Amino acid sequence: MTSTILVTGGTGFIGSHTTVLLQQAGYRTLVLDNLCNSSANVIDRIAQISGTRPDFIQGDIRDPALLDTLFKNNNIAGIMHFAGLKAVGESTRLPLQYYDNNVNGTVCLLLAAQKAGVKTIVFSSSATVYGDPISLPITEDHPRSATNPYGHTKLVIEDILENLYNAEPGWRIARLRYFNPVGAHPSGLIGEAPQGTPNNLMPYVAQVAAGRRERLQVFGSDYNTPDGTGVRDYIHVMDLAQGHLAALQHCQTKDSTLLSVNLGTGNGFSVLDMVRAFEAASGRAIPYDLVPRRPGDIAACWADTQRAEALIGWKATLGINQMCADAWRWETGQANQATGS
């Protein structure tokens, strides 16, 4: 039996791009996703791009019987664990759902993996575990704190993974802390497809450029940043996917390891920088209003990327113009599909 990577959340935004790269690198992939925030047709798109169809099971990571069957019937060499709920605002309204889905879901997954003797896992953590940064750029040793239930689920899962690593020899664990993933596959076939109103800047900007929304609201223009708007470390999803491959391959060379690694570019761009870059990429004007800050938002955040480079030999290569061009191609491709043109 060929060895397989189990990709939880593999029809989602970051999981789908990573599945493409895994397949192109010669891994067999098994995608497990309950489709609560994605669509099954992503599997067709992954097949179209990579030339091989991932195996796909529609199911939940909180289903122990299903997990046992998957581990029994497949020669799983490692897990890429993307499945989770990710909307900060929603997490403050529905904390129990977030703890159940993210924390309990991860415990179910780890119990099944432990039973099956699978001890390699790459986990989607987030720069949100750094809370409001006290120093920039943010290194992996920056103190961790959570400012909302979503962030707290990531913190707790990071700790669970560390407890497991300390308790049992042989685990190979990468905790990847993403900064702000944006962009799409250059084919325009897969990208971020938020349901309802986008929570993140880039899909919102794309929808304004496409005329699907009237204006962008820029939350906060009086931060202590060069133009007063919030500054973030935007990272192209293809770079991010490449970082997962590098982390997996690094883990596979070790008998045992526990890593925390930032995946960012090391560069901060403001909201208005991104608006201008998107206007240039799309050729469309993006009307916006400056409105008061959103509670809980931080002024600025960007990654120290030295550990990623030194430890897993990975560095982001794509800049904001590419991010915007690829996001725009994806946005217009979706619009053409909707109108049948």
Map residue 31 onto helix, strand or coil: strand
Contact between 33 and ligand NAD per CB under 6 A:
yes
Binders of ligand NAD among residues 71 to 130 (CB under 6 A) are: 82-86, 101, 105, 124, 126
CB neighbours (10 Å) of residue 202? 24
Look at the alpha carbons of 252, 257, 262, 265 in this order and tell me if their dihedral is positive or negative: negative
Closest approach of Cβ 105 to ligand NAD, in Å? 5
178 is catalytic: no
CB of 155 to ligand NAD, least distance (A): 12
- Does 178 engage in binding with ligand NAD (CB under 6 A)? yes
Report in angstroms how near the CB of residue 81 gets to ligand NAD at its nearest.
8
Size of the site for ligand NAD (CB under 6 A): 28
Q: Does 260 bind ligand NAD (CB under 6 A)?
A: no
Please report how close the Cβ of residue 182 comes to ligand NAD at its closest, in angstroms: 8
- Report in angstroms the alpha-carbon separations of 77 from 117, 282, 309: 9, 42, 25
Contacts (Cβ under 8 Å, ≥6 apart) of 341: none
How many CB atoms within 10 Å of residue 169? 9
Q: Coil, strand or helix: which one is 137? A: coil
Residue of the chain from 4, 19, 29, 38 that contacts ligand NAD (CB under 6 A): 38
- Cα-based distances in Å from 321 to 207, 259, 274, 278: 17, 31, 9, 8
- Cα 213 from Cα 135, distance rounded (Å): 36
Say which of 27, 98, 130, 150 is annotated catalytic: 150
* Stretch near ligand NAD under the rule CB under 6 A, chosen from 6-14, 49-57, 221-229, 280-288: 6-14
Just list the catalytic residues.
Answer: 150
Using CB under 6 A, list all residues that contact ligand NAD.
8-9, 11-15, 33-38, 60-62, 82-86, 101, 105, 124, 126, 178, 181, 200
